[in-house]
Amino acid sequence: MRIHRRALIGAALGTIGLAAGPALAQAAKEPAKEVRLDWATYNPVSLVLKDKGLLEKALAPEGITVRWVQSLGSNKALEFLNAGSIDFGSTAGAAALLARINGNPIKAVYATSRPEWTALVTRPNTGITAVKDLKGRRIAVTRGTDPHIFLIRSLRGAGLTERDVKLVLLQHPDGRTALDRGDVDAWAGLDPIMAAAEIENGDVLFHRDPAANTWGVLNVREDFAKQNPDLTRKVLAAYEEARKLALSDPKELTRILVAATKLPEPVVARQLERTDLSQPVIGKRQTETILDAGTALLDAGVIPAGTDVGAAVQALIDPRFGPAAP
């Protein structure tokens, strides 16, 4: 079943937020007394927010506490959200879409970054210079993340599928280790670990496509947002404060990332070169990019035939709580 991109974008954008009124009107009178967020090295703004204690300061007058949980990848953040162990989680946009299609009741409410955070990586001298060279090779990947989705799309572009390669399912840090040990021939990488592999080991990003990297988004559990709309807005306001601090003081941003990741400053600098923090408003841009990814995955058979990708994107993206478009 082929989905027409223009029609889906129109449908997704035309109906985002139409059900907002009734949902917010039914919000619980008693707000949450604790908010639980993830922090992730692939989401620099989350590290600034945590380091500066901005949300703790904003919520202290209301007696609301803040609890932080580390996510090692979109798949882990989505697992935590689905289990109800966190209220806000950082993921790639396409990973959030797949989770929504699979029944994870989340809303993408804020754009944390526009990154080129994934590429296909190999060691020097493996003979791999293009995606077509991956046929029959072992590839480390973290299932359900943007690198996994990037790999699927890249294989498809070269006339291959996952059946033509041997996937080795590992979390991102273990994927780099497996590559450097020679246990796999390639790795669907993720920054800043990917930047470290480049600088420290001379690993090669043999296939890059910035346009196929979906946005970094902050997701909230749908029931949490319905029951705590004001608190959700305060969380995103604190995120905005952290994002502006990150942009205004690049040296401090670098210091925070170095401290959190325990990586050398040149590695963090490489990550930040590929990370745009200037576009936090979630809406049309993310809809288009995530829809493109979803349509490609539908055509590749990763998403079940007959899935209404446009409706899933519409259900995922919710701009009501975050900053307004300029």
DSSP codes of every residue in 173-211? HHHHHHHHHTS-SEEE--TTHHHHHHHHH--EEEE--GG
CA dist., res. 217 & res. 30, Å (int): 27
State the pLDDT at residue 17.
Answer: 46
Neighbours of 1 (CB within 10 A): 10
Rounded to two decimals, what is the model's pTM?
0.86
Q: Is 6 exposed, middle or buried (0-12, 13-18, 19+ CB in 10 A)?
A: exposed
Q: What is the DSSP string of 254-322?
A: HHHHHHHH---HHHHHHHHHTEE-S----SHHHHHHHHHHHHHHHHTTSSPTT--HHHHHHHHB--SSS
- The CA distance from 180 to 178, in Å, is 6
Residue 157's nearest CA partner among 136, 131, 134, 121 is 131
Average pLDDT per block of 10 residues along the chain, 326 residues long:
46 46 47 94 97 98 97 95 98 96 97 97 96 98 92 95 96 96 98 96 97 95 97 97 98 97 95 96 94 90 93 97 80
**DSSP class of 14:** H
Which DSSP symbol is given to 325?
P
Q: What is each CA distance from 102 to 153, 191, 249, 307, in whole angstroms?
A: 19, 26, 39, 11
Predicted local distance difference test score (pLDDT) of residue 6:
46
pLDDT recorded at residue 223: 97
Helices 309-316 and 284-299 meet at what angle, rounded to 10?
140
What pLDDT, on a 0 to 100 scale, did the predictor assign at position 326? 59
- What pLDDT is stored for residue 302 in this prediction? 86
Question: What is the token pair recorded at 222?
Answer: 């749908």
Other Cβ atoms closer than 10 A to 257: 24
**Whole-angstrom distance, CA of residue 89 vs CA of residue 38:** 5
